[in-house]
Structure 1
Amino acid sequence: MKLIYWLDNNLEKYILVFLSCFTVIIIFTQVVMRYVFDNSLSWSEEIARYAFIWMIYIGVSYGVKEQKHLNVDAFSMLFEKKGKIILSMISTISFFIFSLIISIYGFDIVVKITRESAALQIPMEWVYAAPAVGMALTSIRLIQRLVLQMKELKSLKEEKGYDLREGAV
């Protein structure tokens, strides 16, 4: 149970830190090789690009978890707290549907890829898996967010003296 709790709180964060450090090290090594040793690594650009692709899609999931994505709140400002929560739930459900579709089609594409990368000769399935895995993680985070929004809506109704099963008390 502690492992699941740790993964829930830290998975994306540690993956993003690792990929960021890895990318910086690879690019720094390439710069040193090119300008100090007058030689370059043929594979450094490719691996940095692939790490960056993974960072983008893992970052989407992390953004959902931390609620750091940009949103337009001009329309929601017209509503009270209950309306804002409902609009937020509609937004979360829409994003969930989008991320689920991307995940499903992404995994479908991954199983069809048979190429290898040019410089590293790694299977391109690893690169094409980034959107599928990232959006699958995003879907999980969106479900968590929707559960929190439903609890928030329920507690708001209970604060105002409403019982969800019977209407007004």
Structure 2
Amino acid sequence: MKAIKWLDDHLEEYILVILSLFTVGIVFTQVFMRYVLGDSLVWSEEAARYAFIWMIYIGVSYGIKRNSHLGVDAFAMLFERKGQLIIGIMANVLFLIFAVVMAVYGFDIVGSVTRTSAALQLPLAWVYAAPVVGMVLTSIRLIQKITEQVNAFKKRDNQNDEAAVNSGGVKEDVI
């Protein structure tokens, strides 16, 4: 159980750090080789590009986890907290549908790719797997986020019920 908790807390962070260090190391080595030694590594640009692709898709999941994606909340701000929760849930459900569709169709594409990369001779299926892995992780994070939002919605609804009972009044329906 500790391992699952650790993965939940740190998986994307560690993958992103490793990929970032790898990319910076490869690019730095390539610049040094080219401008100081007058030679270059044939595979470095391709390896850095593929690592960057993986960083992008893992980063989507990390952004969901940290709630750091850009969002336009001007419309949601017109509503009270309960309405904002409903809009947030709907937005995340739509994002979840998109992520699942991307993962499913991406999985089909990964299965049909048979080529290899030019410099590394790496099966391109590994590169095409980045969106699939990223969207699966994103789907997991979105399900977690939707669950948190639904629980917050229920908690808020229960607090309104208790307040109405305690005050002797009728519960005011916000929506």
TM-score by length of 1: 0.95
Instruction: Provide the residue aligned with 2:46 in structure 1.
Output: 46
Aligned length: 165
- 1:159 is displaced (CA, Å) by 1.0
> 1:95 and 1:73 mapped to 2: Cα distance?
15
Instruction: Provide the residue aligned with 2:150 in structure 1.
Output: 150
SS of equivalent to 1:114: coil
Aligned AA (1:147) = T
Instruction: Provide the residue aligned with 1:99 in structure 2.
Output: 99
Instruction: Provide the residue aligned with 2:116 in structure 1.
Output: 116
> 1:101 and 1:86 mapped to 2: Cα distance?
23
1:29-69 deviations in Å (ceiling 9; x for gaps): 00110011100000000000000000000000000010000
Q: What percentage of aligned pairs have identical amino acids?
A: 60
> 1:31 and 1:72 mapped to 2: Cα distance?
40
SS of equivalent to 1:161: helix
Aligned AA (1:45) = E
Is 1:136 matched with 2:133? no
Instruction: Provide the residue aligned with 1:32 in structure 2.
Output: 32
> 2:85 and 2:8 mapped to 1: Cα distance?
24
Aligned AA (1:67) = N
> 2:117 and 2:161 mapped to 1: Cα distance?
61
Instruction: Provide the residue aligned with 1:66 in structure 2.
Output: 66
Q: Give the ranges of 4+ consecutive aligned residues of structure 1 lying more than 4 Å apart after TM superposition.
A: none
Aligned AA (1:99) = A
Aligned AA (2:49) = R
